[in-house]
A and B are shown apart, each in its own frame.
Chain A
Amino acid sequence: MQGIISAAGYVPFRRLDRSEIAKTFGSGGGKGTRSVASYDEDTTTLAVEAARLARKSAPDATINALWFSTANPAYLDKNNASAIHAALRLDSQVGALDFGGALRSGVGALRTALDGNSSVLVLSSDMRDGQPTSTDESQGGDGAAAVLVGSDTDGPVIAEYLASATATEEFIERWRAPGSRRSRAWEERFGEVKYAPLVEQAWNAVLKKAELNPDQVNRLLITGMHARAVRSIGARLGASKAAMGDDLATTVGNTGTAHAALLLANALETAEPGQVIALVVLADGAEVLLFRTTDALNAYKPKYTVAKQIENGAPLSYGKFLSWRGTVTLEPPRRPEPDRISASVSGRSEEWKYAFVGSRDNESHELHMPPARISRVGDAVDDMAAAPMSEVEGTIALFTIDRIAYSPSPPITFAVVDFDGGGRLPVELTDVDVDGLQIGDRVEMTFRKLFTADDIHNYFWKARPVRS
């Protein structure tokens, strides 16, 4: 039985209140908030966070492959899934592939994994941009989702994959040139007219395959960038009104490539065993997937639910949003910008840099971060065991605010962190409001992009307050 073993969404910490946009420019915006990735996040790091959460819910599950989809990749040519693979410390025999470009690639990769017979960690991630005051800017969102697909031999399946159907047709409705941050769209009514029959075609096909009636669908999740088509199609599918799930539009915004899986993760976190969940995605055609939750859901305990992440968000000013997106460039501290990192040095320290693995001396049991060959206690040589630290929490021993150091978003907050079970690292904090920060506060690690130089992204770990 192929299905879902675990699923998680990652909603970045910051929220832009859409009303701030109109206050600044006199137009645009709207009601509610949208999620905003931090200046030190990109679609790769967002996906790492979602993947970490999904793995925490199913720590023993097998992963044979990692697939990553985004319409906003950190790199072209270079495989972004490889950095995620490294951050998750997966075995080198686990394949990691990018499914790039189109918004449809997110749900496409998910369906392909479900149609297969192997366990695949399907990741989708996006950061949605638009011109200031545009609908895309205010209604878009940033986020990622992870769905671990597999069969019962890989881990307990919490949602059985019942069936799927697809409908494809070429029409020019929404498009974006490579390198551009601005999407364009045709006149709204055209898309609405084109989508309706395609969705109905796929919907009818999937119900027939699964031998279900529309009123047997307990949760109906519909998403797509064409908001008007998404809104109008719901009523035409025959499901009950009560089945219509939250599309997270007023809190997170539409996270594009990631949104289908994000809605699915959110639904699974509140579903009961035995419920039928339908996922309908409008993206240059239609994709419809049907699931039925299993009794394994009873024992399934998500570490940090989408709902909780939404609740814990903190505001970000529109000015910061514009600077984080590169729309406006602020005066940096007058310090030299960092040099690009060395590929060969990074290659040698992959375990430390990407997976945050220190070393523990077998004799003194002292933890070394970064890993060392000679112990600082007892002086044993080459007698260390790998010490994975990415999921270990810690406590702030001391912290400081650095107003003069280079940062893409100064000032830097920095803390000396003592990890549970031993080990200390002076490390940068992120997703933190300095007011209220105290010695003794608890922190956890998060995978971030420290800076970019020569188009090379420097990924490493920072600490953030524990909110889960």
Chain B
Amino acid sequence: MASHGIKDQVAIVGMGCTPFGEHWHKGTDDLLIDAAEETFASAGVTKDDVDAYWLGTAMSGMSGMALARPLQLHDKPVTHVENFCATASEAIRNAAYAVASGAYDIAMAIGVEKVKDSGYQGLVGAAKTPTDGTGRTLTAAAMFAMCAPGYGKKYGVDNEQMREVLARIAWKNHYNGARNPRAQFKKEVSMETITNAPLMAGGLGVYDCSGVADGSAAAIIVRAEDALKYTDKPIYIKALSLVAGNCSGNADPSYDYTTFPEIAATGRDAYAQAGVTNPREQIAMAEVHDCFTPAELLIYEDLQFAERGSAWKEVLNGTFDLKGDMPVNPDGGLKSFGHPVGASGLRMMFEAWLQLRKEAPEERTIGNDRKLALTHNLGGYPGEMVSFVSILGNELG
């Protein structure tokens, strides 16, 4: 049993990301073309230069032809991947392994989701598998809402304190998103507005839940030794870790909704692959899956950004703010971007790409010069989730 990783074997040499939002005038094909063209230009390659493609989408298309047709790819291998909300991350993970294996020289990972054509607010689900009707019908909001009282009970955080902590997370992400032209929501939101918003599920209000948006993002991957042919600032892949949970949290009475074991496992694995021994001191910034504010709170601890039971205090201290000790979601996160399921993982990497290359706009620049960035993507619910962690770096070694 081993998870060796492919540290420093492949590099990202070009990236693109469409604005995220309600693209009533753009379809899936338009979003794919926009993201792909920006990415080709970023790396200085053409679609014919790319040897193989990985397309991530959870509900906007089936098969590789969903990409080959709009891009008019000629005799190219295109793999369609889906892994809940970690779909885009899954696309780049597989593309990176393909390049590392030597099978291809250049690969593209591209993720897309066209969510706003369903006619409903929120995500309405992907494949409709015939069932016996006994599955849970609860929304993700309600499932994640249970983390707040779970955490509060275990660590002695009362409802009022918890309300402030969760609002502070939302406030921070909207503060960052207000400085990002690609974000769906580009406005700061006051603590008071967040706190008094209408309730959606449990104690979670509208601003505790990420929005829903359309969007696409992509990356070009080459072998590390070839990276400088394409850019003088390549971003090296240090770690890629994925865990698909066995759903035991639903059935295990010892599960207390204060941790996501799948996330903790991907964190440990990714740190081992990358040789990270002290994430808090070695990682410059992290993009994490803030689908709901309690998720971000627990992720801080599962990814070892904070000691167990202490993340809520660090939130209030500003540790995870843009200029804080450990900036989390400097681009505004799912809170500001919305969540096109198949694109979010690559959108997170796009922010790491900008920050590690010092290309983020001045008002959104993080306050440290560390060399590593982390992205984290989850799909599913407390007790049953897919988790992905990547570590990227701007230097070899």
A residues at B contact (CB < 8 Å): 334-336, 338-339, 341-342, 344-346, 348-349, 352-353, 367-370, 376, 397-407, 412, 414, 416, 418, 422-428, 439, 450-451, 458-460
- A contact residues around B153 at 8 Å (CB): 439
CB-contact partner of B150 in A353, A398, A412, A450, under 8 A: A398
CB-contact partner of A423 in B133, B134, B251, under 8 A: B251
Stretch at the interface among B156-164, B194-202, B276-284, B328-336: B194-202
B130 to chain A: closest residue by CB: A342
Question: Shortest distance in angstroms between A441's beta carbon and chain B's nearest beta carbon?
Answer: 14
CB-contact partner of A422 in B202, B253, B383, under 8 A: B253
Cβ–Cβ contact A403 & B200, under 8 A: yes
B128 to chain A: closest residue by CB: A339
Cβ–Cβ contact A353 & B132, under 8 A: yes
Cβ–Cβ contact A401 & B202, under 8 A: yes
CB-contact partner of A450 in B137, B199, B246, B251, under 8 A: B137
- B contact residues around A439 at 8 Å (CB): 149, 153
Cβ–Cβ contact A404 & B132, under 8 A: no
Cβ–Cβ contact B130 & A376, under 8 A: no
Q: Is B257 an interface residue (CB 8 A)?
A: yes
Question: Shortest distance in angstroms between B211's beta carbon and chain A's nearest beta carbon?
Answer: 13
A-B contact pairs, 13 of them (CB 8 A): A338-B133, A339-B130, A369-B251, A398-B146, A398-B257, A400-B146, A402-B141, A403-B200, A404-B142, A405-B138, A418-B253, A424-B255, A426-B143
Q: Is B139 an interface residue (CB 8 A)?
A: yes
- B contact residues around A335 at 8 Å (CB): 120, 122, 124
Cβ–Cβ contact B201 & A397, under 8 A: no
B residues at A contact (CB < 8 Å): 118, 120-122, 124-125, 128, 130-134, 136-139, 141-143, 145-146, 149-150, 153, 199-202, 246, 248, 250-253, 255-257, 383
Cβ–Cβ contact A376 & B252, under 8 A: yes
Q: Give 10 A-B pairs besides A346-B133, A405-B142 with Cβ atoms closer than 8 angstroms.
A: A367-B251, A376-B248, A398-B149, A400-B201, A402-B201, A405-B201, A428-B137, A439-B149, A450-B137, A460-B134
Q: How many A-B residue pairs have CB under 8 A?
A: 118
| Nearest 8 CB-CB pairings of A with B | A342-B130, A402-B142, A341-B133, A400-B202, A458-B133, A345-B132, A346-B132, A398-B146
Cβ–Cβ contact B252 & A403, under 8 A: no
Question: Shortest distance in angstroms between A408's beta carbon and chain B's nearest beta carbon?
Answer: 11
Query: Are A342 and B251 CB-contacts (below 8 A) given A398-B149, A400-B142, A426-B383?
Result: no
Cβ–Cβ contact A334 & B137, under 8 A: no
- B contact residues around A416 at 8 Å (CB): 146, 257
Cβ–Cβ contact A349 & B134, under 8 A: yes
A339 to chain B: closest residue by CB: B128
A394 to chain B: closest residue by CB: B253
- A contact residues around B250 at 8 Å (CB): 424-426
A422 to chain B: closest residue by CB: B253
Alpha-carbon distance A29/B253, docked complex (angstroms): 48
A340 to chain B: closest residue by CB: B133
Question: Shortest distance in angstroms between A39's beta carbon and chain B's nearest beta carbon?
Answer: 14
B153 to chain A: closest residue by CB: A439
A414 to chain B: closest residue by CB: B138
- A contact residues around B142 at 8 Å (CB): 400-402, 404-405, 412, 414
Alpha-carbon distance A460/B252, docked complex (angstroms): 21
- B contact residues around A427 at 8 Å (CB): 136
Which among A376, A398, A414 has the highest number of chain B CB atoms within 10 Å?
A398
Query: Are A345 and B146 CB-contacts (below 8 A) given A334-B121, A426-B138?
Result: no
- B contact residues around A428 at 8 Å (CB): 137-138
Question: Shortest distance in angstroms between A372's beta carbon and chain B's nearest beta carbon?
Answer: 8
Cβ–Cβ contact A334 & B130, under 8 A: no
- B contact residues around A336 at 8 Å (CB): 118, 120, 124-125
B254 to chain A: closest residue by CB: A424
Alpha-carbon distance A458/B153, docked complex (angstroms): 35
Question: Shortest distance in angstroms between A444's beta carbon and chain B's nearest beta carbon?
Answer: 17
A356 to chain B: closest residue by CB: B134
Cβ–Cβ contact B137 & A338, under 8 A: yes
Cβ–Cβ contact B201 & A353, under 8 A: no
A419 to chain B: closest residue by CB: B253
- A contact residues around B251 at 8 Å (CB): 367-369, 376, 423-425
Cβ–Cβ contact A353 & B133, under 8 A: yes
- A contact residues around B150 at 8 Å (CB): 398
- B contact residues around A406 at 8 Å (CB): 137
- A contact residues around B139 at 8 Å (CB): 402, 404-405
- A contact residues around B138 at 8 Å (CB): 400, 402, 405, 412, 414, 426, 428
Alpha-carbon distance A237/B202, docked complex (angstroms): 59
Question: Shortest distance in angstroms between B261's beta carbon and chain A's nearest beta carbon?
Answer: 12
Cβ–Cβ contact B132 & A349, under 8 A: yes
- A contact residues around B134 at 8 Å (CB): 349, 352-353, 370, 460
Alpha-carbon distance A85/B30, docked complex (angstroms): 55
Alpha-carbon distance A308/B231, docked complex (angstroms): 78
Alpha-carbon distance A41/B131, docked complex (angstroms): 21
Alpha-carbon distance A72/B253, docked complex (angstroms): 41
- A contact residues around B141 at 8 Å (CB): 402, 404
Alpha-carbon distance A348/B134, docked complex (angstroms): 12
Question: Shortest distance in angstroms between A56's beta carbon and chain B's nearest beta carbon?
Answer: 24
Alpha-carbon distance A422/B153, docked complex (angstroms): 22
Question: Shortest distance in angstroms between B208's beta carbon and chain A's nearest beta carbon?
Answer: 12
Cβ–Cβ contact B120 & A400, under 8 A: no
Query: Are A334 and B120 CB-contacts (below 8 A) given A339-B128, A352-B134, A376-B246?
Result: yes
Question: Shortest distance in angstroms between B159's beta carbon and chain A's nearest beta carbon?
Answer: 13
